[in-house]
Every structure is written in structure tokens, then in C-alpha cells.
Amino acid sequence: MKFLVLGAAAGGGLPQWNCGCPNCNDARAGAIPASGQSSLAVSVNGDDWAVLNASPDIRQQMLVCPAMHPQSLRHSPVASVLVTNGDIDHIAGLLSLREQTHFDLFATADIHQVLSDNRIFDAVNRAKVTRHDIAPDAPFALLDGLDARLFPVPGKVPLFMEGDMVQTDLIGGQTVGVRLQSGTKVAYYIPGCADVTADLLERIGDADQLFFDGTLWDDDEMIRSGTGIKTGRRMGHIPISGTDGSMARLSGLSCAKTYIHINNTNPIWQPASPERAAVLAAGWRIGADGQETDL
Ligand code: MLT
Ligand code: MN
Ligand code: ZN
């Protein structure tokens, strides 16, 4: 499997249009790399690609990536798109793929329902873009030679569908992780996850490579930095740090590990930060746009 990070940032990107936090200012000034919103591409033959989550930045993400360029008059190397939840950063890019080229669109029935309920997605022609409902744990071919399964991870409904009461540890079809297998190699992609449960730990025990939710360093980082009023867990994202954070909870996994879906407030974006050093010392890679991983 070949992986290509199309966008390492969380919703909003880095910099975010309305944010003057130190990271966003540094990214705007070119002092640290800017990053697009959450998306990962995967291929087994290097020609046909699956895009895991279609971010609002997908047009630019494909433009700067030669592997994503058309090979003939009307063509795209993108053979399939998979969506892991109904959040805007993961579905809005579908609207940029509406120009009548076939691909397969994989998601759970719950996530497809979000698309069906929002008529703007009817612009993505069902006669060209085949929508496949994937049941939890049902094997399917994401690409020729690439076996995949979806599985529920703790999460919540999309932000724009939240009611007065929000359950942030729902286990169902609204937030899923992806297991990918080619030959004997196994990778997991989990860009949104509210908690690392014992069930999840057991499930991903066979990983050779893990791409995992690195939204926030600290659960209250957005509150402390004055950029938001919610904790990470309230947003459906386990923080990296702390005894019950993802770095500690996943420390027993000896596979290669990469943080992706990193919020613009996260101190791990800063090259000289102690937080970045701690993540690297724990053996993690930190996602970056254009980063390649061969497995
Ligand atoms: C998230 O990951 O929490 C969402 O992308 C938030 C959003 O929709 O902006
Ligand atoms: Mn997101
Ligand atoms: Zn910012």
C-alpha cells in the first residue's frame, strides 16, 4: 500500500480563514507549512487511488499532486472515495467531484443518509458515482487488490446535525474507522475518535500502520487559547496528551503510527515545541501534506 497525505489538518485547515492564533499566523507567514483539511489517499498499484475523506480543499490537494492528475481527456486516477463520517471537512469535497466522472463512493448507511438528506449532494450524479452502503465489518474491495472494512469508533453525529443533547461516545454507523489490507500488510485510518476503548485497542492490534486522530494536544486547548468553547472530547476527539490521551492509550502498539486530522491550535505543528518533541520521542510521525508512506 502507498499512502499520500492530501491534508493533515482538521476542519478549518492551517491556517484557518478567521484565526489569528500563533500557528495560523505562522502558516500564513510561511514560517511553518500550511496544511489542507483532512484527507488521505491510498493506492496499491500507484495508478488507481482511493481518497479517504473528501475535504473542501480537494481541488487544490489534487492539483499539487501529480498522481491525482487525469491521464486522458476525461479521466481521474481516483477510482473510489470513502467517507468516515458526515462532517463538513470529510464530505464537502464531494461537491468538487461532481463533473460526471465515475467513481465508487463507500460509506455506512448512516453516512449515506446524511448525503441523501442534504439535496446539494444530488449534484453528485448517482448514475456516475455509485453509492455503496457498507455494513460494519463487512469486507469490500476499496480498490482492486485492496480489501477494506469499516468499524464503529466512539463518536457523535456531524456538528451541523447536533441537537440540544449530544452523545459523544456513540458507537454506530455515524463515525467509523477503516481497516485496509493488501497481501499481509494491514493499516488503519481513524481520523475522528472520541476515546480509545479496550475494544478498539484489541481490534487494531494487528496493525502495521495506524493513521490516528491528532486533533488536539490538550482536551481544553481551544478553551485555553480563546479559540473555542468546547473540549476535544465534546467535539468527538480524544486529545493526544494525558494519561487517558491517545499517545498513552496507544503506547502498547508497536506498529508505525502517524497523527493526522490535526487542529490548527495544536502545538505539535510547531517545529521546536516540546509537544512535538514528545510525540516524536514516542515514535509517532506527524502528518504533513504530501507525506508519503509505503507499506
Ligand atoms: C470535527 O472534526 O470535529 C469537525 O470537522 C468539525 C467541523 O465540522 O468543523
Ligand atoms: Mn473534522
Ligand atoms: Zn489558528
Residue 286's alpha-carbon distances to 21, 42, 104, 265, in angstroms, are: 20, 17, 29, 15
Instruction: State residue 234's pLDDT score.
Output: 98
Query: Which of ligand 1's atoms lies nearest the C-alpha of 236?
Result: 3
- Mean pLDDT for 181-186 is 98
Query: Which of ligand 1's atoms lies nearest the C-alpha of 215?
Result: 2
CB of residue 193 inside a 6 A radius of ligand 1 = no
Backbone phi, then psi, for 233, in 5-degree steps?
Answer: -60, -35
Is there a contact between 180 and 35 (Cβ–Cβ < 8 Å)? no
Mutation pick for ligand 1 pocket among 87, 88, 162, 264 (CB with most ligand atoms within 8 Å): 87
Give DSSP secondary structure letters for 252-287: T--SEEEEESB-TT-GGGSTT-HHHHHHHHTTEEE-
The CA dihedral of 102, 130, 77, 181, to the nearest 10 degrees, is -160
Residue nearest atom 3 of ligand 1, based on CA coordinates? 235
Residue owning grid cell 499481509: 184
- 122 three-class SS: helix
Task: Output b/e per residue, 5-14; b: 16+ Cβ within 10 A.
Answer: bbbbbbbbbb
Mean pLDDT (the chain) is 98
Q: How much is the pTM? A: 0.98
Amino acid at the residue 92: A
CB of residue 88 inside a 6 A radius of ligand 1 = yes
Instruction: State residue 139's pLDDT score.
Output: 98
Query: Which of ligand 1's atoms lies nearest the C-alpha of 237?
Result: 3
Ligand 2 midpoint to CA 247 (Å): 19
Instruction: State residue 184's pLDDT score.
Output: 98
Residue nearest atom 2 of ligand 1, based on CA coordinates? 11
Is there a contact between 138 and 175 (Cβ–Cβ < 8 Å)? no
Residue nearest atom 7 of ligand 1, based on CA coordinates? 11
Q: Which domains does the chain have, with CATH numbers?
A: 2-290 (3.60.15.10)
CB of residue 236 inside a 6 A radius of ligand 1 = yes
Instruction: State residue 132's pLDDT score.
Output: 98
Instruction: State residue 177's pLDDT score.
Output: 98
The Cα 190–Cα 122 span in angstroms is 27
Q: Please write the tens of the pLDDT for every residue from 106-150.
A: 999 999 999 999 999 999 999 999 999 999 999 999 999 999 999
Query: Which of ligand 1's atoms lies nearest the C-alpha of 159?
Result: 8
Q: Please write the tens of the pLDDT for every residue from 53-106.
A: 999 999 999 999 999 999 999 999 999 999 999 999 999 999 999 999 999 999
